[in-house]
């Protein structure tokens, strides 16, 4: 078997570990930036009715036309822009990578950042360029990014805005300079849009190579798997060619369309999470030994005293709380944990457990 694997599986795939999702049974989940609130009660019956009527014996609408219209309206995407739907934004990253991959083609992202840019780039055979953020505050090192663009001419540049796992936004002007300088596509990944007022959606059309990517995962629909990508229609029509025919299933199309009609209720959940972020940030700031980083997303990165992160992570787990241990994930994330903002009582339980553990 190992002989077969060695002959068949590419060395770069053999060399990596599979994307790790920890066992969370019985734990308060504060590790994956999910919205802790369920589908709003007031819209529950209507949802069940939509599911009852769904024709799962038929293939879904390949383009999800009704859902696309609902997304455009809800997110203010101009009618002259194209829209592409993915099975989560992960799949959109994959489509982009497949569409541009070829000998010598590269993908650039900022580090520490969302690991799937690198992983998917690798799957597609792209060379990966990781440009470090500034160590002190995770701000964007514009000269370094511009130099890498000049030298390597990346086909794709991903900018998470706000960034995961650091939570900060980058300067608008720096992003504008990158879009203007890049010979390839620049994807502003707005996965955390529900928790910030900043967005490049109003800037669509200003540059031919700007794409904006979003997801419904963080607004409370992570289980449905839907991401969307907006940009120049002719460009997206090309990327669309590598999309698998029925990538967004019937239940997801129907459920998200309905959720967008009730978006005020989901917005309210996200507003609550934003308010809780302020409360949690204040509690973390007051804790001796804990350094929280400012966040515009639904999570907060914290740094612990040197060498303590894994111990504190395990102590939190023993108290029934699962967070993300980032120590060892990247040199700039030494001693760091990332906590997703939960319900008020979950955040209080986290702070209590953390203060006992640190
Ligand atoms: N982009 C960023 C920056 C993320 O943090 C995540 C999820 N953690 C994604 C994209 C993927 O989201 P989705 O659930 O839509 O695949």
Cα 90 to ligand 1 centre (Å): 6
Residue 189 beta carbon below 6 angstroms from any ligand 1 atom = yes
Residue 90 beta carbon below 6 angstroms from any ligand 1 atom = yes
Rounded Cα–Cα distance for residues 257 and 251 (Å):
10
Per residue in 56-72, pLDDT (tens digit) is 999 999 989 999 999 99
Cα 114 to ligand 1 centre (Å): 8
Mean pLDDT confidence for 121-137: 96
Closest ligand 1 atom to residue 91 Cα is 16
Report the nearest-CA residue for atom 6 of ligand 1: 191
Burial of 19 (0-12, 13-18, 19+ CB in 10 A): exposed
Residue 217 beta carbon below 6 angstroms from any ligand 1 atom = yes
How many whole angstroms from its chain centre is CA 211? Answer: 15
Computed over every residue of the chain, the mean pLDDT equals 97
Evaluate if residue 94 carries a pLDDT over 90: yes
Closest ligand 1 atom to residue 32 Cα is 8
Q: What is the pLDDT of residue 291?
A: 98
Residue 215 beta carbon below 6 angstroms from any ligand 1 atom = yes
Evaluate if residue 123 carries a pLDDT over 90: yes
What is the per-residue burial (b if ≥16 Cβ within 10 Å, else e) of 122-135? bbbebebbbbbbee
Per residue in 197-250, pLDDT (tens digit) is 999 999 999 999 999 999 999 999 999 999 999 999 999 999 999 999 999 999
Closest ligand 1 atom to residue 89 Cα is 15
Per residue in 310-357, pLDDT (tens digit) is 999 999 999 999 999 999 999 999 999 999 999 999 999 999 999 999
Whether ipTM tops 0.90, in short, is yes
Per residue in 242-286, pLDDT (tens digit) is 999 999 999 999 999 999 999 999 999 999 999 999 999 999 999
Strand order, beta sheet including 291-292: 291-292, 299-303, 336-340, 324-325
Cα 7 to ligand 1 centre (Å): 33
CATH architecture of 2-40+264-357: Alpha-Beta Complex (3.90)
DSSP 217-236: GGGTTGGG--EEEEE-HHHH
Rounded Cα–Cα distance for residues 29 and 323 (Å):
7
Closest ligand 1 atom to residue 90 Cα is 16
Confidence of residue 177 (pLDDT cuts 50, 70, 90): very high
Confidence of residue 19 (pLDDT cuts 50, 70, 90): confident
Residue 191 beta carbon below 6 angstroms from any ligand 1 atom = yes
Maximum distance among all Cα pairs of the chain, rounded to whole angstroms: 58
Confidence of residue 146 (pLDDT cuts 50, 70, 90): very high
Confidence of residue 20 (pLDDT cuts 50, 70, 90): confident
Report the nearest-CA residue for atom 7 of ligand 1: 191
DSSP 61-73: PTT-HHHHHHHHH
Cα distance from N-terminal residue to C-terminal residue, the chain: 46
CATH number of 54-262: 3.40.640.10
Report the nearest-CA residue for atom 2 of ligand 1: 191
What is the pTM (predicted TM-score) of this model?
A: 0.97
Q: Domain-by-domain residue ranges, the chain?
A: 2-40+264-357, 54-262
């Amino acid at each position: 078997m190992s002989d077969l694997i060695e002959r068949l599986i590419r060395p770069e795939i053999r060399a990596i570990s599979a994307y790790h999702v920890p066992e969370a049974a019985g734990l308060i989940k504060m590790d994956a930036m999910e919205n802790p609130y369920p589908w709003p009660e007031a819209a529950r019956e209507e949802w069940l009715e939509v599911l009852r009527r769904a024709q799962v014996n038929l293939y879904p609408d390949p383009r999800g036309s009704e859902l696309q219209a609902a997304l455009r309206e809800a997110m203010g995407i101009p009618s002259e822009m194209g829209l592409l739907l993915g099975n989560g934004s992960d799949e959109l990253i994959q489509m982009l990578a497949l569409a541009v991959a070829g000998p010598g083609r590269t993908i650039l992202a900022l580090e520490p950042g969302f690991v799937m840019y690198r992983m998917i780039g690798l799957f597609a055979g792209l060379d990966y360029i990781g440009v470090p953020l500034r160590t002190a505050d995770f701000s964007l090192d514009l000269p370094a990014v511009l130099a890498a663009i000049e030298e390597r001419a990346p086909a794709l540049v991903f900018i998470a805005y706000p960034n995961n796992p650091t939570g900060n936004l980058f300067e608008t002007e720096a992003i504008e300079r990158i879009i203007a300088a890049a010979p390839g596509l620049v994807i502003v990944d707005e996965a955390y849009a529900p928790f910030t007022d900043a967005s490049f959606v109003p800037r669509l059309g200003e540059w031919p190579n700007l794409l904006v990517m979003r997801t419904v995962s963080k607004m409370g629909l992570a289980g449905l798997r839907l991401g969307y990508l907006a940009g120049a229609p002719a460009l997206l029509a090309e990327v669309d060619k590598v999309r698998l025919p029925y990538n967004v299933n019937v239940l997801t199309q129907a459920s998200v369309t309905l959720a967008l009609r009730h978006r005020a209720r989901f917005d309210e959940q996200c507003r609550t999470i934003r308010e809780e972020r302020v409360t949690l940030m204040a509690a973390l700031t007051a804790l001796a030994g804990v350094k929280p980083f400012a966040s515009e997303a639904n999570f907060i990165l914290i740094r612990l005293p040197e060498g303590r992160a894994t111990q504190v992570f395990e102590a939190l787990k023993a108290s029934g709380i699962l967070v993300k241990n980032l120590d060892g994930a990247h040199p700039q994330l030494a001693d760091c944990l990332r906590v997703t903002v939960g319900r008020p009582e979950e955040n209080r339980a986290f702070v209590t457990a953390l203060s006992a553990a640190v």
